[in-house]
Chains A and B, each alone.
Chain A
Amino acid sequence: GDSVTQMEGPVTLSEEAFLTINCTYTATGYPSLFWYVQYPGEGLQLLLKATKADDKGSNKGFEATYRKETTSFHLEKGSVQVSDSAVYFCALRGRQGAQKLVFGQGTRLTINP
């Protein structure tokens, strides 16, 4: 079945550091790919998405490119802020199993001032 694997956390960085959170997936066909963010005490919010190969999703300085050849959707940000501290989830929705999102285990990110 479809699956998502994220780099394990927690990840701790200093403010203005470069961020990469790795995400790889296994799916049949051409899934849609998502990054969700969960701030402390809140529900999940969509951060960005890409629906086909080579698409780049971007939002709030974060970017991720849909790489079919490496089945990856790594999240990057050039200069993180303390307010970026949250849990980040990579997820996919497969064409065949389009009724649900399949999530990675989440990566907790802490940014120190």
Chain B
Amino acid sequence: EAQVTQNPRYLITVTGKKLTVTCSQNMNHEYMSWYRQDPGLGLRQIYYSMNVEVTDKGDVPEGYKVSRKEKRNFPLILESPSPNQTSLYFCASRHQQQQGGEQFFGPGTRLTVL
């Protein structure tokens, strides 16, 4: 089954404790991205990657890091989480060349930073 998986689905942590949210897709998509969803703001892009070893900032990259060492994986790293990073996070992927193509989303990771 074609899918995007994220782990963990739920995470409660404390300020300053480094964490990683994993994302993996099995569709051989070139393009992957991370979004955060906050009430009244919709989804905002954090980082994206157009292919292996190619990453770039989205609209709200502060406090986040990413890496793309393999085509299927795109982890999101919070080196020193803060309470304002409490949010619902989505990973997504699609074929790079399809401007009108569907973007597939993972099930989401709900993060709470105390």
Residues of A near any B CB (own CB < 8 A): 4, 32, 36, 42-46, 49, 51, 89, 93, 95, 98-101, 103-106
Contact = CB atoms under 8 A, between A and B. Distances in A.
A93 B99 contact: yes
Question: Per DSSP, are chain B's interface residues mostly helix, strand or loop, or mixed?
Answer: strand
B33 interface: yes
Interface residues of B, number: 25
A103 B103 CA distance: 13
Contact of B42 (A32, A98, A100, A106): A106
B56 A49 contact: no
Interface of B: 4, 31, 33, 35, 40-45, 48, 50, 56, 58-59, 90, 92, 99-100, 102-103, 105-108
B39 to A, nearest CB: 9
A99 B90 CA distance: 16
Contacts of B105: 36, 43-45
B42 A105 contact: yes
Contacts of A45: 105
